[in-house]
A and B are shown apart, each in its own frame.
Chain A
Amino acid sequence: MKASRTGKIVALWGMALICLFYLLAPPGWMLISSFSPAAELHARPPHWLPHQPTIEHYETLFQTQGANPRALQQNPQVRAFPRSFLNSFIIATATTLICVVFGAISAYSLSRFVKQDRQRWILLGLLATRMIPVVSVLIPIYFALQRLGMLNTLTALIIVYSGLLLPFVIWILESYYRDFPIDLEEAAAVDGCTPLRTFVSIVLPLSRNGLFAAAAFVFISVWSDFIVGLTLTSSDRAWPISVALAQALNPITEPNWGLLNAAGLVAALVPAILAFLFRGAVMRGMLSGAIKG
């Protein structure tokens, strides 16, 4: 009896470790590859740990002093990388600001000043828009922006992402405000505060945590998006980082893999740090079934 129990535990742990290997080995290999010289990656099998680790790929990526001019010449798309990093940063920051500011106002208005049956319909409608696959709505959006001459601009990406993400932001902030203690607002109203004044000076400061979590979600979603950026941009003038990465992965010639892994890691760093800082909110969000996996 005892022996079979030990056997069972060993088998379970073995399976669990295989699961963990599947989950953690790929990003681990990416990290190692980004510090490995090309020759060691091209060995058969590759060196699982580099004998001579190098930061050359990162220097080439940011085109600093130690950059490898040959690698840069052979992977011209990488030149677009610093610019697209900046593009993504601008787009994600602006979208986050728009979504959180106007999302909070609308979520608050919805939770306080809309009749209950109407409120339920609006929330259901907001949820329904999130169920529509993005590729379906991109066709009309593309043609509208083409007519307005706004394709390949950062402004267009910012307003499109805002429109696509606002339903989600309102949806999560509304549930946040619904659980918000209403006594303070009533007291403020009795003291003669207008609803806007109450919202700005009492509700907003007290809902900091919810707002930061919503901001992190929006920032991560925009930063991680690929299909919207791919459809609505055509040059490094507006490429977000995801599109620049895909462009660098040229299917015709074998890319410089150390360099690409470094680029991928840098692209993943920003959302990874945000998710780590807001891991509590991320998990709560997953549990409420609101966020995309």
Chain B
Amino acid sequence: MASSALRRSDFLLRVLNTPAILLILAFSIAPIVYVFYLSFQDLRIGMGASGFAGLDNYRFALEDASVTRAITNTLYFAALSVLLATLIGLGIALLLNSDMPGAGWLVSAIVLPWAIPEIVNALMWQWIYNPTYGALNGILYSFGLIPDYRAWLSSPVSAMHAVIFAYAWKLVPFAVIILYAGLTAIPTEYYEAAEIDGAGDVAQFFHITLPLLAAPLGVVVLFCMVWSMRAFDIVYLLTRGGPGDGTMVLSYFVFAKAFEFGDVGAGAAVACLLAVMTFVLTGLYMRALRNTGGAQ
């Protein structure tokens, strides 16, 4: 803004801003307002009359056992996916950082899962978990670890963990890239000094690497948490929330409630609940970021 000649836009440039503004208003902002409005309505597809429902939908969202189950499932799913992706991401990042040959080539290979559409990821794991021909069964069976092929997606507990294992796969590249960047930013002098003081590898990891990796780890955990709380594709393709409500997560619950059962009001209320949960997490993230003074 140094020059006064640059301080003002011209008419044509302003007019050219309208398409973006209109599109954002119509599809990013108005729907948020409208879904909030809908969450106070008694609106069921095919039931004709509808009206103001007061807090009924929110009472449903906070008290009904199916929603409570979806909330606990979502939190469990998100927490475990994030933990798995972070641990594996940290492992690969440490490997990349250990002066191994071909690290550059490996980084390109690691971006691959990021680029694979989530629905293809789901298809891939559906095939791996297949009860009659699946690769997971094939491997475990040939090593004699299971006596017979299993249907991994047909009991609630094993289905939940199978879905988590498949979803975390998609989060790993993000974790690797962020943590690898964090590792390369740690000055080697620290390790040299520790070496002189006689600190072993394990001591160096816990006293130098981990504390200096706190900020990147925070970024990985919070971003992956926000994404996994809205995971939809993988649940849709692998389990449709089943068996029973074993893998019913909030985003699939909203979809099923509003579009399959046609209870739009209740779906909208749960959608708002999900948005609020995401916002709380993001707020925590922003605060953490401010306290540590930047991500990297």
Contacts and interface: CB of A to CB of B under 8 A. Distances in A.
A206 interface: no
Contacts of A137: 27-28, 31-32, 35
B73 interface: no
Contacts of B194: none
Residue of A113, A185, A251 with most chain B CB atoms under a 10 A cut-off: A113
Nearest to A142: B259
B52 interface: no
Contacts of A142: 259
A109 B32 contact: no
Interface in A1-49: 5, 8, 12-13, 15-16, 19-20, 22-24, 26-27, 29-30, 33, 41-42, 44-46
Interface string B219-251: 100011011011011001100100000000001
A252 interface: no
Contact of B149 (A44, A103, A182): A44
Given A109-B14, A129-B32, A267-B117, 7 more contacts: A133-B274, A139-B35, A144-B31, A182-B2, A226-B236, A268-B120, A275-B111
Contacts of A12: 94-95, 98
27 contacts: A16-B94, A22-B172, A45-B142, A46-B133, A105-B16, A109-B14, A126-B24, A128-B279, A129-B24, A129-B29, A133-B230, A136-B275, A138-B31, A139-B267, A140-B34, A140-B35, A185-B6, A264-B124, A268-B115, A271-B116, A272-B112, A272-B116, A276-B111, A283-B107, A286-B114, A286-B174, A289-B219
Majority DSSP secondary structure for residues of A touching B: helix
Contacts of A186: 2-3, 5-6
Given A113-B9, A275-B115, A26 B20 contact: no
A12 B209 CA distance: 15
A54 interface: no
B38 A140 contact: yes
Contacts of B236: 226-227, 230, 246
B88 A195 contact: no
A96 B130 CA distance: 37
A177 interface: no
